[in-house]
Amino acid sequence: MATSSFTRKIVITGKEAVDMIIDGLVSDTPEKDLEEIQRRKEEFEKNRKRGRELLVQFASHYKK
């Protein structure tokens, strides 16, 4: 009796672990990934524009 109870606990624990792993893999929805990609693109574009402005400002010192 103790062995079957112990075996059942292992099986349930193993199933819960597998469910947790599956949930972790599935929880990365494309919507979150798309939002993250869009946010990074916007940051990249903002940094690119700022870098361009700084380059123009730097070059203006040598035009004088």
For the chain, the structural domain boundaries read 2-63
Sequence-distant (≥ 6) Cβ neighbours of residue 43 within 8 angstroms: none
Kindly report the three-state secondary structure assignment for every residue of 3-61: HHHHHHHHHHHHHHHHHHHHHHHHCCCHHHHHHHHHHHHHHHHHHHHHHHHHHHHHHHH
CA-CA-CA-CA dihedral for 8, 9, 12, 18, to nearest 10: -120
What pTM was estimated for this model as a whole?
Answer: 0.44
Q: Is pLDDT above 70 for 6? A: no
Q: Between residues 12 and 62, which one has the greater pLDDT?
A: 62
Q: Between residues 61 and 13, which one has the greater pLDDT?
A: 61
Q: pLDDT value at position 42?
A: 92
Q: pLDDT value at position 51?
A: 87
Q: Is pLDDT above 60 for 9? A: no
Average pLDDT on 18-23 reads 73
Q: pLDDT value at position 1?
A: 47
